[in-house]
Chains A and B, each alone.
Chain A
Amino acid sequence: MLEQFAKRYGYDDPLEIYLSRIQALLAGDYGISKRSLALLLLQEDSEMLDSVKSREKGFVDIESIIEEARRYYPHPLTYLISLRRQQEVNQIVKRCVSYPAKERVPFPEYLSQLMMNPFFGGPLLLVVLYYFLYKFVGGFGAGVLVDFLENHVFITYINPFMTKLVTSTVPLKPLQDLLVGEYGIITLGVRYAVAIILPIVTTFFFAFAIIEDTGYLPRLAMLIDRLFKKIGLSGRAVIPLVLGFGCDTMATMVTRTLPTKRERIIATLLLALAIPCSAQMGVILALLSGKPVALILWLSVIILVFLLVGFLASKIMPGELPSFYMEVPPLRFPLLSNILRKTYSRMIWYLKEILPLFIFASGLIWLGQITGLFGILVKLMEYPIKLLGLPSQAAVSFLFGFFRRDYGAAGLYDLKKLGLLNTNQLLVSCVTLTLFLPCIAQLLMNIKERGIRMGIAMSIFILLFSFSVGFLVNLTLVSLGINL
């Protein structure tokens, strides 16, 4: 039956001959019919070519038939085969499908066109960013939720309780410190992860799931493609980059969806350097809250760095230029159940990945402290920190920042509460910390995705670059005599 079907809807004679010649040479069993396999081979399917190459003795002959067929036709064989299939599909569809004549443009279609309008799309993006990122994630997540969890749950109940429990049951002072000391696993590690980072990341994932499910992202990609081409990316990169505002580590993994290696490298670099993750951003927004000028300056510096580094990277990096193509799905009203499920699974992923790292970092700091190594590193950091015009206590935050960027930012938050930083210093440290080395998780992900050489090289570049920018910002402020 299938054979008959194949004959009835066959290709033109020469192609059928090439097909049967290849079929005759195929000895192995590949789990699909020989005809399908021969068709894939003629279309130069790399996976199938590799598997046939390793298993067939007569591969050289098969290769020469493919070459012959390729030379026979003026068009690529993929094109011809798809064309023939399309013909058949059209025949079938024509017989059994009819479309009602559309009388007017339905509302979602109208909205979709507005979203893709450059004059309307820009302001819409600002509205989306303002409500979802600034108001919801920054205001509600980083403000209300963090305040509640940190001040009311941890500092009032959990920390005193755990401290009491540990000091009464654990005999050794160093072990007590490991658990509930200044940098203790419970008092610092778990508190940061659960009370500060978790609410911010969760609200971000919730907002992102809504935006994702409406179908807004491809429309944003379409709007931004022209700009992104200037920094060596295509509009498609908008998805990992926006996701980076939630978690850069996850976003780095998502760069796999970009079609060329060149784009993946540029996107990874920009994520590591200039895209602050939600945790960092939440803390930075809190640090700079009530200081609109500093906030705007911080934003301008980061955007400038993003565009400049992207532009330079696209000039330096070899490889084919990006091309943009993407399906634009119809706009849909997001389902709450889907959004909750997505948020939940991402939250679980985040906790699984993040909590051990926080505990690990707390342990490292504790180890560093009791061995005195931590003190030496902090001392070493103090010099570059002074170059940035910051108090030496900030060195601790920057060292933390290596373990997690948001960890460092949260440390700065403590310094601000103590009144140790003026606005100039806040701006400089926020800029430097945003650009600073990615957190340990992202560093590991960079190495995993881009290879050890590229991962390390990127980290060294980012380390030097972030301090240089911080230094320049401070120098500009000082030499212009600006006191924010």
Chain B
Amino acid sequence: MSRVQFADANKKQELRLTSTDVAVSRLLIEGGKMLSEHAEEILEALWIQIEEKDGLLDVGASRDEPAIEELVKLGLVKLEGNHLRLLEKGKKEAEGAIRRHRLAERLMVDVLQIKSKIMNEVSCRFEHLLHKGLEDNVCILLGHPKVCPHGKPIPPGKCCQEKAGKRPVKIISSLIDLETKERGEVAYLHAKDSTKMQKLISMGALPGVSITLLTRFPSVVFQIGQSQFAVDEEIAKAIYVRVIK
């Protein structure tokens, strides 16, 4: 991966970002909460070079890039001639960036079903929107995946250690996929025809409402507040639930 490609890709992305995106990221960067996209990408490349290949990253003529300057200033990397060395502080930062990138890839493939050809481009943009802390939610949602769609390891986060060994915990699932007696909160409704939606609304199955699945067979019975309702599978499928543990 050469520097020129980096710069080009970055330029394209810059152009596609809306003015709000730019304003938000500038605020975050200035507040010191977030690295610029380019700087994050350099960190990632460095991490891959060190952990998965060998040797240092040759930055060649681009040593005066503002992104590199940014990294050096923050004490994440050290410039040694034409080579960048990842410092201890930078290693942690880089690991997080890699984790976000690969989780984003998983999300793209597993949940959003994006074709793998365009996956890298989309997840490259997406990972930067995945702010720190949020990636753990994605990780939980995906059931703590160990590898990215290319088979490369995803650095484990805090959430993975906490839940280690337990079955994957889904954040959002259709009511029908809940275990019986499992409780959740209605996240959203998704029904193609409006009459079905109307029925759900009249039963009080609205976002934010606590819902418990009582039986799944022969019909679905759930409880909302103090009331119980029996519905068929088609209607139950329209209720998406955030599982409460």
**Count of chain B residues with Cβ under 8 Å from any Cβ of A?**
27
Residue B194, interface by CB 8 Å:
yes
**A328 and B221 contacting across the interface, CB-CB below 8 Å:** yes
Residue interface bits B200-231, CB-to-A below 8 A is 1, else 0:
01011011110000110111010000011111
Q: Given A83-B207, A323-B196, A325-B203 in contact, is the A116-B231 Cβ separation under 8 Å?
A: no
Chain B residue numbers with a CB within 8 Å of A325 are 199, 203, 229-232, 235
A233–B214 alpha-carbon span in the complex (Å): 24
**A79 and B219 contacting across the interface, CB-CB below 8 Å:** no
**A76 and B228 contacting across the interface, CB-CB below 8 Å:** no
CB contact between B199 and one of A83, A223, A226, A323 (< 8 Å): that residue: A323
Chain B residue numbers with a CB within 8 Å of A118 are 217-218
Chain B residue numbers with a CB within 8 Å of A224 are 218
Residue A90, interface by CB 8 Å:
yes
Residue interface bits A309-327, CB-to-B below 8 A is 1, else 0:
0000000000000011111
Chain A residue numbers with a CB within 8 Å of B207 are 83, 86
**Count of chain A residues with Cβ under 8 Å from any Cβ of B?**
32
**A226 and B234 contacting across the interface, CB-CB below 8 Å:** no
Chain B residue numbers with a CB within 8 Å of A90 are 208-209
A416–B228 alpha-carbon span in the complex (Å): 50
A116–B214 alpha-carbon span in the complex (Å): 10
206-238 of chain A: CB within 8 A of chain B: 218-219, 221-226, 229, 234-235
Q: Given A223-B218, A327-B229 in contact, is the A78-B206 Cβ separation under 8 Å?
A: no
Residue A422, interface by CB 8 Å:
no
A225–B228 alpha-carbon span in the complex (Å): 16
**A223 and B219 contacting across the interface, CB-CB below 8 Å:** yes
Q: Chain B at the A interface: mostly helix, strand, loop or mixed? A: mixed
Chain A residue numbers with a CB within 8 Å of B169 are none
A82–B194 alpha-carbon span in the complex (Å): 14
66-125 of chain A: CB within 8 A of chain B: 76, 78-79, 82-83, 86-87, 90, 112-113, 116-118
A229–B218 alpha-carbon span in the complex (Å): 12
Chain B residue numbers with a CB within 8 Å of A324 are 219, 230-232, 235
Residue B56, interface by CB 8 Å:
no
Residue B189, interface by CB 8 Å:
yes
**A86 and B208 contacting across the interface, CB-CB below 8 Å:** yes
CB contact between A79 and one of B189, B217, B229 (< 8 Å): that residue: B189
A361–B199 alpha-carbon span in the complex (Å): 45
Residue interface bits A7-35, CB-to-B below 8 A is 1, else 0:
00000000000000000000000000000
Q: How near does chain A come to B238, taking the closest CB pair, in angstroms?
A: 10
A480–B53 alpha-carbon span in the complex (Å): 85
A79–B197 alpha-carbon span in the complex (Å): 8
**A222 and B197 contacting across the interface, CB-CB below 8 Å:** no
Chain A residue numbers with a CB within 8 Å of B137 are none
Residue interface bits B99-117, CB-to-A below 8 A is 1, else 0:
0000000000000000000
Q: How near does chain B come to A415, taking the closest CB pair, in angstroms?
A: 43
**A234 and B232 contacting across the interface, CB-CB below 8 Å:** yes
**B235 and A328 contacting across the interface, CB-CB below 8 Å:** no
Q: How near does chain A come to B60, taking the closest CB pair, in angstroms?
A: 48
A325–B239 alpha-carbon span in the complex (Å): 13
**B219 and A87 contacting across the interface, CB-CB below 8 Å:** no
A222–B198 alpha-carbon span in the complex (Å): 20
**B204 and A326 contacting across the interface, CB-CB below 8 Å:** no
**B201 and A326 contacting across the interface, CB-CB below 8 Å:** no
Q: What is the chain A residue whose CB lies nearest that of B220? A: A222
Chain B residue numbers with a CB within 8 Å of A225 are 218-219, 230, 232
A323–B234 alpha-carbon span in the complex (Å): 8
Tell which of A86, A224, A226, A235 has the most Cβ of chain B within 10 Å.
A86
Q: Given A82-B206, A90-B208, A328-B228 in contact, is the A235-B219 Cβ separation under 8 Å?
A: yes
Tell which of A117, A226, A324, A330 has the most Cβ of chain B within 10 Å.
A324
A453–B139 alpha-carbon span in the complex (Å): 62
Chain B residue numbers with a CB within 8 Å of A328 are 221, 228-230
Chain B residue numbers with a CB within 8 Å of A78 are 194, 197-198, 201
**B232 and A116 contacting across the interface, CB-CB below 8 Å:** no
248-303 of chain A: CB within 8 A of chain B: none
Chain A residue numbers with a CB within 8 Å of B221 are 116, 222, 328
Q: How near does chain A come to B172, taking the closest CB pair, in angstroms?
A: 17
**A226 and B215 contacting across the interface, CB-CB below 8 Å:** no
CB contact between A327 and one of B198, B218, B227 (< 8 Å): that residue: B227
Q: Given A79-B201, A235-B230 in contact, is the A226-B214 Cβ separation under 8 Å?
A: no
A117–B214 alpha-carbon span in the complex (Å): 11
Chain B residue numbers with a CB within 8 Å of A223 are 218-219
A117–B217 alpha-carbon span in the complex (Å): 8
Q: How near does chain A come to B232, taking the closest CB pair, in angstroms?
A: 4
A218–B228 alpha-carbon span in the complex (Å): 11
A223–B194 alpha-carbon span in the complex (Å): 26
**B232 and A323 contacting across the interface, CB-CB below 8 Å:** yes
Chain B residue numbers with a CB within 8 Å of A326 are 229-231
Query: Could you jot down 11 A-B contacts, CB within 8 Å?
Result: A82-B201, A86-B206, A86-B208, A90-B208, A117-B215, A222-B230, A223-B218, A225-B218, A226-B218, A325-B230, A328-B221
Q: Which B residues form the contact surface with A (CB < 8 A)? A: 189, 194, 196-199, 201, 203-204, 206-209, 214-215, 217-219, 221, 227-232, 234-235
Having A87-B208, A218-B230, one finds 10 other A-B pairs with CB under 8 Å, namely A78-B197, A82-B206, A86-B207, A116-B230, A225-B219, A323-B235, A325-B199, A325-B230, A327-B227, A330-B228
Closest 5 CB pairs of A and B: A222-B230, A324-B232, A328-B228, A86-B206, A222-B219
